[in-house]
Amino acid sequence: MTYFRWIILAICFAVVAAVAQTTDAVKNELFSIFDDEWQFRLQENPDLAVSMGKAEYAGKLPAVSAADELRRAEFDRGLLQRLAAVDREKLSETDRVNYDVFKFILENRVAEVEHESYLTPISSEGGFYTSFLFMIGDLPFENAKDYQNYLSMLAAFTDYTNQHIELMREGLRKGKTLPKMLMSPDFFTAIDAQIVAKPGESPLFDPFEKMPETIAADQRKQLVELGKAAIAKHIIPSFKKIKQFLETEYIPGAKAEPGVSAEPGGKDFYAYRVRFFTTTNMTPDEVFEIGQKEVARIRAEMEKIIADLKFEGSFAEFLNFLRTDPQFYAKTPRELMMEASYFAKKADGKLPEFFGVLPRNSYGVEPVPADIAPKYTGGRYVGGSLENGRAGLYWVNTFKLESRPLYVLPALTLHESVPGHHLQISLAQEMENVPNFRKSNYLSAYGEGWALYTEYLGEEMGIYETPYQLFGKLTYEMWRACRLVVDVGIHAKGWSRDAAVEFMASNTALSLHEVNTEIDRYIGWPAQALSYKIGELKIRELRKTAEAALGEQFDLRKFHDVILSQGAVPLFVLEDMVKRYIALEKMTGE
């Protein structure tokens, strides 16, 4: 009997070992695919590599010709074929998340190339040339080698510009362009800032004026002269070429209609973009219907606040009061920045009550750079990097103070700083034991949905101090609900720009400058604006599900930690994560 027991035990151990070996082999193959993709991605995107602290990639710019785009898509197709051969069912729960996120990213990267979105490398907010300026912000400037890398980047900008212009010419030939209505005089502000009389006046010369003393004096002098020469030879002529091309070729030949559906294949492209940016299988019509329902719901809440304030007048008159009364606007940029900083710090102090896990990296509050501010949104988050010793930044737009109402500042601050983008993105960057692509991955439905959810959470956190600030919070929520209507209206239902502006202006307390800036953004970035409200609705739905399932056992801090634990994921993956969390909590609570 003892002998047979040993035989059975030996067989069991052998089976367990064989299963473990099989599981390990499947995981190893999966991570081999991840590694191959990551190395290829770093080589193809040296700007990404530098932003992650890999100095060996500095001094290069990405190759962006149509042939390069097609080559990269073919590589991704090969990865998808390898991924299809991996037995997902033999992976751990964590690696299934890795698998699903990776598959979603690759499929959509291939789709972007198939729809030729690379033929429009500009938007209402700028384009490839402003992206170049952001790349420079990630560069280290600590020694002579760093400056030599910078000189190489400046020299590479000529080819970088030429490649993009060729893409845009191809876009003109195929009828795939940015609408000409978006390229107003303000559009050229960032370009004109680089067209200077003397190289030393260029904003790109700034690093040469702040050279560390550790570089020998004669070498500093030489680098300064090389910097001036590079700007004179590559930067100023390239920006002149960009401006001339836009004015003489692109704008005259660009489409007049605002919607992407006016382009060849535009309807299919927009339907794909809706699926990508919402990470769902929703159709444009379904999104439009959700938007209409949300607009009606939020409008009722706004009307209640107006009634509580005992305001005498119509909804439109109340909006006009908010837009024109001086009490709601900062008198100086510093006052606006101080208000933003106050709410950022107030939110900081509330975090431990609502989150069990907090990031290590900090963030600062700075104004939007002047050269891009005129066409920029009211605020934006710029990611930091612990590896590069760089804090995150909450940018506040101080351009046209009369268009920056103070009553929306608490909601804006929650969204862009904490517990919004800075908290979420920093936690993702600091994840351990995950493939590299997960730390840099960003999916709008998740990231923007989370940030909008935190505006809702701000009421529970006690951030809003006045009825006007609560109305500002509702204005921001209404803004995102209106996006579902106007984005689909523009790109799938033939709405004019004026119709979209009218709808947004009549339903929100946003300034008219902000309304116009926002509508231009939606025109130039089809479907991205849908991600906010769709993502937020899903997170709120998942919270309600967890609260109902767990009752008194529900822990809000733990729920938030689960939502943030895996970085940016498609909404269908997030739903599976919450289902597992609920099941585990029920098991441990029994």
Query: Is residue 576, in this structure, part of any structural domain at all?
Result: no
pLDDT of res. 53: 80
The Cα-based distances of 585 to 30, 536, 539, 550, 564 in angstroms read 30, 23, 18, 8, 17
pLDDT of res. 387: 80
213 and 72 assigned to the same domain: no
445 and 318 assigned to the same domain: yes
Q: Which amino acid is at 484?
A: L
Query: Is residue 10, in this structure, part of any structural domain at all?
Result: no
The per-residue DSSP string of 216-266 comes to -HHHHHHHHHHHHHHIIIIIHHHHHHHHHHIIIIIHHHS-S-SSGGGSTTH
| pLDDT of 1 over the 70 cut | no
Q: Are 347 and 419 in contact (CB under 8 A)?
A: yes
Q: Are 354 and 425 in contact (CB under 8 A)?
A: no
Query: Is residue 340, in this structure, part of any structural domain at all?
Result: yes
Q: What is the mean pLDDT of the chain?
A: 94
438 and 518 assigned to the same domain: yes
| pLDDT of 14 over the 70 cut | no
Buried b / exposed e over 244-274, threshold 16 CB at 10 Å, is ebbeeebbeebbebbbbbebebbbebbbbbb
Q: Are 169 and 249 in contact (CB under 8 A)?
A: yes
pLDDT of res. 12: 52
147 and 242 assigned to the same domain: yes
38 and 73 assigned to the same domain: yes
107 and 124 assigned to the same domain: no
In whole angstroms, what is the distance from residue 249 CA to residue 253 CA? 6
The DSSP 8-state label assigned to residue 396 in this structure reads E
Q: Are 199 and 226 in contact (CB under 8 A)?
A: no
Phi, psi of 390 (to 5 degrees): -125, 125
What is the tens place of the pLDDT at every residue in 477-516? 999 999 999 999 999 999 999 999 999 999 998 889 889 9
98 and 129 assigned to the same domain: no
| pLDDT of 18 over the 50 cut | no
Cα 321 off chain centre by: 33
175 and 280 assigned to the same domain: no
Question: Tokens 């550790």 label which residue?
Answer: 214
Cα 476 off chain centre by: 17
Over residues 305-334, mean pLDDT: 97
> Higher confidence at residue 385 or residue 147?
147
Query: Is residue 505, in this structure, part of any structural domain at all?
Result: yes
pLDDT of res. 94: 93
Over residues 379-402, mean pLDDT: 93
Instruction: Collect all residues with Cβ–Cβ distance below 8 Å to 260 and sequence separation of at least 6.
Output: 266, 269, 270, 273, 491, 526
| pLDDT of 15 over the 50 cut | no
140 and 282 assigned to the same domain: no
pLDDT of res. 19: 47
Query: Is residue 337, in this structure, part of any structural domain at all?
Result: yes
Over residues 300-329, mean pLDDT: 97
Dmax (CA) for the chain in angstroms is 96
- Domain with 495, as residue range(s), is 269-537
Nearest alpha-carbon partner for 146 in 230, 233, 207: 207
| pLDDT of 204 over the 80 cut | yes
357 and 414 assigned to the same domain: yes
| pLDDT of 186 over the 90 cut | no
Query: Is residue 2, in this structure, part of any structural domain at all?
Result: no
Query: Is residue 351, in this structure, part of any structural domain at all?
Result: yes
pLDDT of res. 590: 58
What is the tens place of the pLDDT at every residue in 149-162? 999 999 999 999 99
How many domains would you assign to the chain?
A: 3
221 and 307 assigned to the same domain: no
Over residues 271-295, mean pLDDT: 98
In whole angstroms, what is the distance from residue 424 CA to residue 536 CA? 14
Percent pLDDT > 90 in the chain is 87
Buried b / exposed e over 566-587, threshold 16 CB at 10 Å, is bbbbbbebbebbbeebbeebee
- Polymer length in residues for the chain: 590
Over residues 439-455, mean pLDDT: 96
What is the tens place of the pLDDT at every residue in 43-65? 999 999 988 888 889 999 999 99
Instruction: Collect all residues with Cβ–Cβ distance below 8 Å to 149 and sequence separation of at least 6.
Output: 55, 58, 59, 139
250 and 160 assigned to the same domain: yes
Question: In 10 A of CB 214, how many CB atoms?
Answer: 9
In whole angstroms, what is the distance from residue 60 CA to residue 56 CA? 10
Q: Are 473 and 410 in contact (CB under 8 A)?
A: yes
Beta strands in 242-400 (DSSP E): 363-367, 379-382, 392-396
What is the tens place of the pLDDT at every residue in 205-236? 999 999 999 999 999 999 999 999 999 999 99
Structure tokens at 121: 């490398």
pLDDT of res. 24: 86
Cα 434 off chain centre by: 21
pLDDT of res. 13: 52
Over residues 311-335, mean pLDDT: 97
Query: Is residue 586, in this structure, part of any structural domain at all?
Result: no
pLDDT of res. 372: 86
Percent pLDDT > 70 in the chain is 96
